[in-house]
A and B are shown apart, each in its own frame.
Chain A
């Protein structure tokens, strides 16, 4: 049996942001295991103070380069709730469509650009261009589709422009929507191919029971707003998010940690899947069954599979959304006028990596006086940290080498698709 182990991964690669893994084993006993976020804090909550309410979505989209649409939508939800602004239905649908575009491009980026190299034994996706061109083609086409959806609805993918307080500033034309719908239809076969590809790969077998937190669907798979729910049976209102997150600070990390009923909980694709399986599109459920994924699943590596299932689901739902917008006849005005007023509100949105909260106090001039943002990766950090300890313990028992443990630990963190700069916003 392996006696001593000293693993230090400085600035874990193929994730968004800077995080370190530290593992220390002495005489077969785990002495220390840490998931330490060393990302530079940016203090967005402070930056928000004194900013006009309509600049808040623009500013907070800069929290994250991958899920900027989610941040924008969360910020808009908080502002619009605070000022009691009624957003036109078509604008709601278009926003959700942009959201789906983001989910698709973010999940594909993670699955095929960042995680896949682990399964093919390469350092990055670049060697795969030559060795596995069919995988790269899938990745480019699907990520391209996600970006195209975002570009059309939100103006661009990173830091969207047309998602504004009151609705959407510019609507796509009927022709553009019809073309987009056709393209999504054609790409369904690509997501099927991704399912096929991942069937040939084996997810590490690791289970650690934990609690999964997400939005709760009422009649459909949840993305924007609604009740908060956990697999341990906790249900809370959106405004009650603080009771759901319970943030606390550890010294070894710049990101905060969070907990609910246990020492940690998880958010993200697997959490949404575990809480809302019933609302998934039939075809998406079918894909889940192929991998033996059923709720409640406690293998964090299966988050990858849950992401594939969600990609399938959002593509199909996008087609439905476009149909509904086209039925409504693409109304000219999809942005509600409003009066600036004081208020306080919380917005909760399911970002690709899990549930995201923005909480603003706005004064009568429409200026933000206080802000709080709780990021999915912040909520996952404690769970990653505890998973790591459990994983290392199991691996020591199996007598695995330093390299194996390092590789598996890295894969574990990546499986959460962490968005670290986000978490230290």
Chain B
């Protein structure tokens, strides 16, 4: 007779040897395994932000990876850390993903020094997404402040690629200063080719700025909003979306048709570490996309 405990090795289970599929949340996977990517292009947007094009190297992993607008990935820079970044590209693009990244911390500072051809890792996608199908047949209003345009780019691509399915599409975009405007090289295409109404505004103009000056809510005066047929997505700092959503509420748009993307510190992306908790809710699993009604019901969200 024996008292020896035999080692139970979970490595031997078949799903532990396959590439992890992050859209299946309930099986034990190698959730810390990253998909290795190559930075195939770097676009300098502003002094602080760069757009990175990442191509997943392994063809099987590239095949598995798909995301919905609003979802984020965890971007791993081996040795320096991992950060949550919302995907800025079209979900139809299966060749590479685009990430717009601001330099603000250990990991992103390193990333900004990286050269084309460098290899980084991603895990994901994680989190909830915008209800794009539900919005079909309606007007779509996208409102962004500052870096908030980055997560709005994915739903915008979605709408543009299915332009017939949506009615009026408008983007309201405001920043503090003109030089902080992101993706300016695309504005003309959005307006002329894709029939998107684009209004921009800055809080503080410089000598070259010829557009509007003021707060983002001033843009509301320039568009007609039909409260019964409009879906809104708002991205930006909490003060901004609180202000904007209250205004939309006064126009009669139901709160469950306004969507925001919350930003919190995340360490795991998988509903474990609790760093991203808002009240009793995980931003990473139950968010980052919430309708405004849910946000109002979260303790300490705004």
A–B proximity contact (CB within 8 A): no
